[in-house]
Structure 1
């Protein structure tokens, strides 16, 4: 029996998800040219599916479309890093305040569970003690999403997700654990406790400090 062909939409979604994963993990490096024919072969999808996926990623700021030249991975720079984190701080603050205002008991429970999972996950990559591990990065993303997921604004959450994903590219490229001196678990625990206490001002201040310290570390790493 011959295999049932996948719908075009499924193939496009698959290409989009795989490319996005490679971009966020920096397996596709900043400014790297994206050869559509090579991507078709690697992903096992059509030219149209790859083009549609790249167009979606362009709208998210992860890929740049250049007239007559095709697509490339979006650049990174110190100026963009500063702008990205300044903007992220403001959006995270709005999301956090709204979540604290309207979040449910289930949201609180999910936040505690996300923190527990993060705190029990080793930060270092297996076999590479100087580098952050993929599992920790995923648990870290889950925790930060849990902090704000009690809100009720899809627009704010979409903006926040895009900013967070862009910031992950810098973290992947720059940070070596050996060069970071911070008690990140304490920062996360204090953030969680302020949120559970429904203390919006303290939670926002802690989030601001947390992200500003991350910015400082990333800038220092980029200059090393």
Structure 2
């Protein structure tokens, strides 16, 4: 008997492909997302595309307008400040609870997620760089694993959605960076404090990690006239 895993449903595939292209700025902020055009790009009918776009609207990556259809969500300093504000509340809460109730298996998954991310980061150059899809996937996996011992599925899902909304800004910041940033060092410090169950240090490090990108964006976007 074959043990091959069945491919995800068409809607799930379309959501994943669209999300990746939105995070990679293939579709740029403010661009119209015309269903007729997207059918050719993604090779599927209007129905799964509309469902995918509606899901991504819920995630905050797409904006829906009854008269104008769908558009890529804009990127602004104020928007990222709002995303950051919520992450500093919700991610911190999820991490605190994970530290309090997480068991050995959770710790092992966190260490493994960090190791996989570190191996990719070792291949990235310092300075301006385009963070690719593999890095994005492993970066999110690391952060979500740290938060995954929370007992609230809704809290974890909201953290996941906010993480994706912040990803476009992270990539934008990385592509324009002129000074190197040791993300691996930041992640390792957060991990060590977390598995040592040092709640105060772990949450302070995570807050600094989240805030640092906001500071970069707040300085960068006005310089570029955005």
Q: Same fold (TM over 0.5)?
A: yes
Residues matched between the structures, number: 215
How do residues 64-143 of structure 1 correspond to structure 2 at under 5 angstroms? Answer: 64-122=63-121, 130-134=128-132, 135-143=134-142
- 2:27 is aligned to 28
Which of 138-147 and 90-99 deviates more? 138-147
2:184 aligns to what SS in structure 1?
Answer: helix
2:129, 2:174 within 8 Å by CA — same for their partners in 1?
yes
How far does residue 177 in structure 1 lie from its aligned partner after superposition? Answer: 6.9
Give the distance between the partners of 1:173 and 1:39, measured in 2 at CA.
Answer: 24
TM-score normalised to structure 1 length: 0.87
Shift of 1:186: 2.2
CA contact (8 A) 1:175 1:221 kept: no
Cα drift, residue 123 of structure 1: 5.6
In structure 2, the CA distance between the partners of 1:129 and 1:214, relative to structure 1 (3 Å rule), is closer
User: Structure 1, residues 50-103: CA drift from partner, whole Å, max 9, x if none?
Assistant: 112211211221111112211111111100111111111111111001100111
Q: How does 1:172-191 map to 2 (within 5 A)?
A: 172-176=171-175, 178-191=177-190
SS in structure 1 of the partner of residue 17 of structure 2: helix
- State the structure with more CA Rg: 1
Task: Work out the CA distance in 1 between the residues paired with 2:137 and 2:127.
Answer: 17
The unaligned stretches of length 5 or more in structure 2 are 1-7
1:132-169, Cα deviation, whole Å (9 max, x unpaired): 43133332222111211122210110110010000001
For 1:122 and 1:186, the matched residues in 2 are separated by 10
Alignment check: 8 A CA contact 1:122 1:136 kept: yes
In the alignment, is the contact (CA less than 8 A) between 2:116 and 2:138 conserved in 1?
A: yes
Output the CA distance in 1 between the equivalents of 2:81 and 2:53: 26
Q: CA deviation at 1:208?
A: 0.9
